[in-house]
Amino acid sequence: RLRTKKAFVDEINKALAKSEGLTLKDLLFYWGTPYPATVCSVEMFQALENLEARRDDMLLVSYPRCGECIINCLLMKQIPSPRILATHLNYDCLPRSISKNKAKILVLFRNPKDTAVSFFHFHNSVPRVPSYSSWDEFFSEFMNGKVVWGSCFDHAVTWNKHIEDENTMIIIYEDLKENLTASVKQIAEFFGFFPTAEQIQSIADSATFQAVDNKAEETHGAVGSILFHKGKFVYILLKNLFIEAQNQEMDAKFKVCLDGVKLGIKLKYDVYCKA
């Protein structure tokens, strides 16, 4: 675990420097899922199996490009001492000690169309993951789970099975955008904190997109400007990139994987994803 913000930023910059020109074949495949080899290794995954989670650990889980950086800022502001662990892994890949010791897990989701568009931009902006020559090429790989960290839908299906676990809370990115203050209160209370109204507002103000974007380079080094990609721009790209056949393909995939289940209902697909 990196102990300081500077160590984290240095590690990110180092990974970027040594990962120019990666292709899919250069990625690490573990249990059939591709991972960025510059920040993942077989030894790391094997060590995870023996990680002893603590009861007061706080785990943030999300598929990439679902707003996890904003949530991380919220948590760092209000939690002074327990370990805050962040990962893109699905439930089945987590150390068994996390469920055994009832460490609390906050799982963040975002509507899959925005996720795909943001991830496409991320792939073509960050050298430690493969780039794609076109949106159509990326969309095909995304729908087949051949992008780094695997399938967005497999990730969601796995976590839906644990949506009612007492140590798990699901939060939706769109809900954060609509009412950040209410989300701060909800998250704080889940972790056993009860900040005042003034503290809640202060935390929310420090975690708006603009506030986080202003400190992106300081907190995340060279990759900061890429991580905090403007949501409005993603919406414009969504309208311009998805053709009708792709809209229909993702609508059908969502229906097969998540239609009618609790996570699918929370995602409000008909509100955020219908073309």
Q: Which residues are catalytic?
A: 88
Pairing outcome for strands 33-35 and 28-30? antiparallel
244-258 and 135-143 helices cross at what angle (nearest 10)?
20
| Residue in the structure block whose two tokens are 């995602």 | 267
Which residues, at least 6 apart from 64, have a Cβ–Cβ distance to it below 8 Å?
Answer: 88, 115, 119, 122, 148, 149
Count other C-beta atoms under 10 Å from residue 249's C-beta.
15
263, amino acid identity: L
Instruction: Give the helix/strand (H/E) hosting 244.
Output: helix 244-258
231-241 and 112-123 helices cross at what angle (nearest 10)?
100
116, amino acid identity: A
Contact 215, 73 (CB under 8 A): no
Which residues, at least 6 apart from 58, have a Cβ–Cβ distance to it below 8 Å?
Answer: 75, 79, 82, 83, 84, 85, 103, 104, 106, 191
Q: 63 phi and psi, to 5 degrees?
A: -70, 150
Cα 78 to the center of its chain, rounded Å: 20
